[in-house]
């Protein structure tokens, strides 16, 4: 398992010299400053690569090479956008970067309603609170249909919250929901989000799947020629949100993606936390089923509220509902299988995904979910599991 760490480049408060102290050797980064749909110039990629390498790391994965919303909506002349994506891939491959993580979530990326929920140990974590999300949809956006997407008890709680909320509470909720958009990406206001949603009104699951298939057909053959691996990141949370369909949420969805265009270049980012946020998803079982297609892993854990509302929060890496030891064991078994095949890429890159804010993390103003100490704790725990499994392996 290749230990890596997500770094946002110039937008990140955390320095590479600090990351070096975590012991990770791989960096996961992206050119967040380039607007969606534009080509990533080779020189800019090369400069970032040099910066990473001069600090003693290897740039192991691009996260993300984002997909323009027009492609997701299937709108307009898409050929220039597909060509820009292919050209960015060529430029990345020319610089020796071969793994590309991306997602196909309409409009929003990962979505939470609270960015600093206190944990029992005194740190804080990210939380998705179903009543707050319902309050946002029903009462702030005015999306009446949202009532069908939440249990009645959640809608009732949403109304109570909304009635008691202050302007500042509502602002904070909007800000939290927008926090998942990466890098310097423009956040939506309630009004602009309403407009953006309007443009998706005719896009249901079948249309989104068709648009996704077209994207795969346009880019996967080039990725294959270049020896690259594309790996889709699952939806987070894995459910429809804001009335937008989400199509990478379950084992069945993943199977659909892989079948849409079977190729070594069409694979999966195994995000344990995103998948684990779906109560019906058994993450170790999903990892075992799709192991040969996993090109990158995000390791973290979540815990659902026991009330069946769909609310969850981010647990410490070895706590929460997913048996992390079993999951890592599956990934390491897959690595052995690849090694036996003589593959040069048998080592699967993973990163401690998200982390609690611990100690002085909250003073740093880092990207939500990406604090220094919280992730160091996560990485240290995961490293311990890996070392123990390696020991066990040597005994057998
Ligand atoms: C959340 C991340 C996601 C991920 C994208 C990939 O913390 O894992 O934002 O980077 O969905 O495109």
Q: Which atom of ligand 1 is nearest to the CA of 298?
A: 8
* Residue 161: Cβ within 10 Å count: 19
Residue 249 has pLDDT above 70, yes or no: yes
Of the chain, the percentage scoring pLDDT greater than 70 comes to 99
Q: How big, in percent rounded to 5, are the helix, strand and coil portions of the chain?
A: 45, 15, 40
Which two tokens mark 123? 């740190």
Which of 135, 168, 196 marks a domain boundary? 196
Question: Per-residue pLDDT tens for 191-228?
Answer: 999 999 999 999 999 999 999 999 999 999 999 999 99
Ligand 1 probe mutation, 126, 182, 247, 356, most atoms within 8 A of CB:
182
For the chain, the domain total comes to 2
Same domain for 214 and 190, yes or no, is no
- 275 within 8 A of 234, measured Cβ to Cβ: yes
Same domain for 273 and 248, yes or no, is yes
Find the residues whose C-beta lies inside 6 A of ligand 1: 63-64, 101-103, 109-110, 180, 182, 233, 271, 298, 353-354, 369
Which of 196, 219, 239 marks a domain boundary? 196
Task: Give the span between the Cα atoms of 214 and 207, in whole angstroms.
Answer: 11
Residue 184 has pLDDT above 90, yes or no: no
Residue 44's domain is classified under what CATH number?
3.20.20.150
Identify the band that residue 182 occupies on the pLDDT scale cut at 50, 70 and 90. low
Distance 233 CA to ligand 1 centre (A): 7
Nearest to 351 by CA among 202, 233, 224, 198: 233
Same domain for 237 and 381, yes or no, is yes
Which of 196, 225, 247 marks a domain boundary? 196
Distance 105 CA to ligand 1 centre (A): 10
370 flagged as catalytic: yes
Same domain for 32 and 176, yes or no, is no
271 flagged as catalytic: yes
Ligand 1 probe mutation, 63, 248, 349, most atoms within 8 A of CB:
63
Distance 269 CA to ligand 1 centre (A): 10
Same domain for 391 and 271, yes or no, is yes
Same domain for 15 and 81, yes or no, is yes
Same domain for 189 and 67, yes or no, is no
Identify the band that residue 180 occupies on the pLDDT scale cut at 50, 70 and 90. confident
Same domain for 104 and 119, yes or no, is no
Domain that holds residue 51: 2-110+202-395
Residue 183 has pLDDT above 60, yes or no: no
Kindly report each contact of residues 354-362 with a partner whose C-beta sits within 8 Å and lies 24 or more positions away, as own/partner: 354/126, 354/273, 354/300, 354/314, 354/378, 355/300, 355/317, 356/119, 356/121, 356/123, 356/124, 356/125, 356/314, 356/316, 357/116, 357/123, 357/124, 357/125, 358/123, 359/123, 361/123, 362/116, 362/124
- 110 within 8 A of 180, measured Cβ to Cβ: yes
Of 99-108, 179-188, 318-327, 381-390, the range with the lowest mean pLDDT is 179-188
298 flagged as catalytic: yes
What pLDDT shows up at residue 262? Answer: 98
Catalytic residue among 295, 298, 317, 356: 298
């Amino acid at each position: 398992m290749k230990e890596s760490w997500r770094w946002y480049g110039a937008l990140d408060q955390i320095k590479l010299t600090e990351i070096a102290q975590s012991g990770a050797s791989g960096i996961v980064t992206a050119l967040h400053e380039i607007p969606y749909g534009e080509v990533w110039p080779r020189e800019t990629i090369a400069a970032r690569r040099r910066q990473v390498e001069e600090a003693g790391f290897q740039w192991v994965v691009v996260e993300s090479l984002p997909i323009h919303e027009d492609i997701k909506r299937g709108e307009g002349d898409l050929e220039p956008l597909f060509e820009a994506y292919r050209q960015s891939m060529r430029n990345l491959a020319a610089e020796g970067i071969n793994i590309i993580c991306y997602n196909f979530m309409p409009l929003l990326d990962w979505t939470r309603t609270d960015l600093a929920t206190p944990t029992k140990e005194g740190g804080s974590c990210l939380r998705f609170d179903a009543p707050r999300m319902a309050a946002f949809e029903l009462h702030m956006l005015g999306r009446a249909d949202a009532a069908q997407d939440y249990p009645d008890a959640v809608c009732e709680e949403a109304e109570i919250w909304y009635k008691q909320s202050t302007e500042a509470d509502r602002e904070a909720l909007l800000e939290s929901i927008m926090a998942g958009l990466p890098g310097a990406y423009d956040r939506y206001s309630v009004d602009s989000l309403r407009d953006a949603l309007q443009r998706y009104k005719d896009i249901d699951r079948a249309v989104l799947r068709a648009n996704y298939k077209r994207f795969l057909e346009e880019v996967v053959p080039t990725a294959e020629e270049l020896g690259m691996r594309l790996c889709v990141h699952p939806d987070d949370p894995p459910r429809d949100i804001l009335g937008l369909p989400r199509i990478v949420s379950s084992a069945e969805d993943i199977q659909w993606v892989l079948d849409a265009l079977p190729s070594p270049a069409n694979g999966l980012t195994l995000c344990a936390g995103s998948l684990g946020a779906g109560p019906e998803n058994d993450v170790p079982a999903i990892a075992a089923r799709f192991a040969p297609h996993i090109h990158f892993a995000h390791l973290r854990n979540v815990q659902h509220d026991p009330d069946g509302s769909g609310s969850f929060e981010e647990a410490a890496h070895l706590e929460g509902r997913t048996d992390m030891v079993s999951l890592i064991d599956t990934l390491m078994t897959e690595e052995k299988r690849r090694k036996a095949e003589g593959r040069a890429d048998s080592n699967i890159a993973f990163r401690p995904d998200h982390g609690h804010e611990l100690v002085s993390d909250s003073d740093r103003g880092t990207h939500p979910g990406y604090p220094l100490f919280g992730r160091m704790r996560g990485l240290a725990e995961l490293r311990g599991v890996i070392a123990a499994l390696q020991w066990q392996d040597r005994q057998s």
